[in-house]
Structure 1
Amino acid sequence: MNYWLVKSEPDAYSWDDFIQQGKAVWDGVRNYQARNNLASMRLGDPVLFYHSVAGKEVVGLAKVSHEAYPDPTIPEDPRWVVVELEPVTRLSKPVSLQQIKAEPLLQNLLLIRQSRLSVVPVSVNEFECILALGS
Structure 2
Amino acid sequence: MPLDPDMFDPVCPSDLSPIRIGDKWAGMIVRCLEQGPRRFSELRVPLRGITAKALTKSLRTLQRDGLIERTSHLGPVRRVEYELTPLGRSLLQPMTAACAWAREHWEELLDAREASTGGRRG
TM-score by length of 2: 0.34
Q: Which has the higher contact order (CA 8 A, sep 6+)?
A: 1
User: Which structure features the higher share of helix residues?
Assistant: 2
- TM-score between the two structures when normalised by the length of structure 1: 0.31
More strand by share: 1
